[in-house]
Structure 1
């Protein structure tokens, strides 16, 4: 690995420490040989990830283990129209957090679409599947990164659409919020209470 390319983060995995890098020209050859067994994810990392990153459409991170491209993850900003019942639960939970702190300011949302961070693509190379890397990537990087992003840029959680990894996300604490007729489903990982806690500490800190 070039000493000039610094990792964005280091995560602990069942294989030991692996490294998170922002997508970079240094890794182009590794992108071309990536294969997770899913056409959509393979096409994305080989054909679209660089262009979408450079254009500001999303942010792709690479998971490097043993100097191999073991996986990748991409994020983008998104606005999602929550179903009325689920939206009401979010509003109620946030109001309860306001009341706990005795905040005098009001909270109300009169629109369905709320800002989220969209987990657009995630792939683990076939050579590294079944080793717990996907779980480590979500727990050690995706959730902490998304919380920091939401606290700084304003969003309430992580949204992901999947057809083949429903159990994977469910076991990691994502809630099913929508299923379509094609077998796909939207899952949501709530971060709004965590965001409120972070912002409240900053808001109420002594000058």
Structure 2
């Protein structure tokens, strides 16, 4: 199966997408397109099988945000000015259950990293932040994300990844 990752397009088939999590399914089906095209608060990228060019099999949504410097892990912000840190927010990340365990989640997070590096180079951002479901914290940790202290004890775990970590990993893989 050849997978292509690109921006969500209006004709994309999203109704059959099912990752097993209704809020993630609903977001893709009902909100992703309008958030991207009409109100510009996030961009959704979709994975499609090139054999079925409009059927979504995975997706992620990115937005920009900022976080107070004091809310970031101290070792990553030492020496930085005392203002809010610009960041890329990985707002959503999901794979259709029919394609789970086939490396699609890895392909999607790799694309997140590529885009975040481009944003860091062109606009500036210090980190990627994700709100990980509690049962997915270890998955994000494999990619270098660290839990933020003071996050809520229930609901998603906010996780932080310094853009320098992504940059070093990219250099090491070449």
TM-score class normalised by the smaller sequence: 0.7 to 0.9
Q: Residues 85 and 53 (structure 1 numbering): CA distance in 2 closer, same or farther, change over 3 Å?
A: closer
CA distance in structure 2 between the partners assigned to 1:124 and 1:193 by the alignment = 25
Query: Does residue 180 of the first structure (1) align with residue 165 of the second (2)?
Result: no
1:79 corresponding residue in structure 2: 66
CA distance in structure 1 between the partners assigned to 2:97 and 2:161 by the alignment = 26
Q: Residues 194 and 135 (structure 1 numbering): CA distance in 2 closer, same or farther, change over 3 Å?
A: closer
CA distance in structure 2 between the partners assigned to 1:58 and 1:85 by the alignment = 23
2:6 aligns with one of 18, 21, 25: 21
2:23 corresponding residue in structure 1: 40
Q: TM-score, normalised by structure 2?
A: 0.83
Report which of the two has the higher share of helix: 1
Deviations 1:55-81 (A, max 9, x none): 110011110124242101110000113
Deviation, 1:175, is 1.4
CA distance in structure 2 between the partners assigned to 1:156 and 1:36 by the alignment = 30
- List alignment gaps of at least 5 residues for structure 2: 168-174
Q: TM-score, normalised by structure 1?
A: 0.71
- List alignment gaps of at least 5 residues for structure 1: 1-14, 96-107, 196-207
2:109 corresponding residue in structure 1: 138
Query: Does residue 89 of the first structure (1) align with residue 60 of the second (2)?
Result: no
Q: Residues 85 and 43 (structure 1 numbering): CA distance in 2 closer, same or farther, change over 3 Å?
A: closer
3-state secondary structure, aligned to 2:148: strand
Q: Residues 18 and 91 (structure 1 numbering): CA distance in 2 closer, same or farther, change over 3 Å?
A: same
Equivalenced residues, count? 161
* Contact kept in structure 1, 2:41 and 2:63, CA below 8 Å: yes
Deviation, 1:90, is 2.3
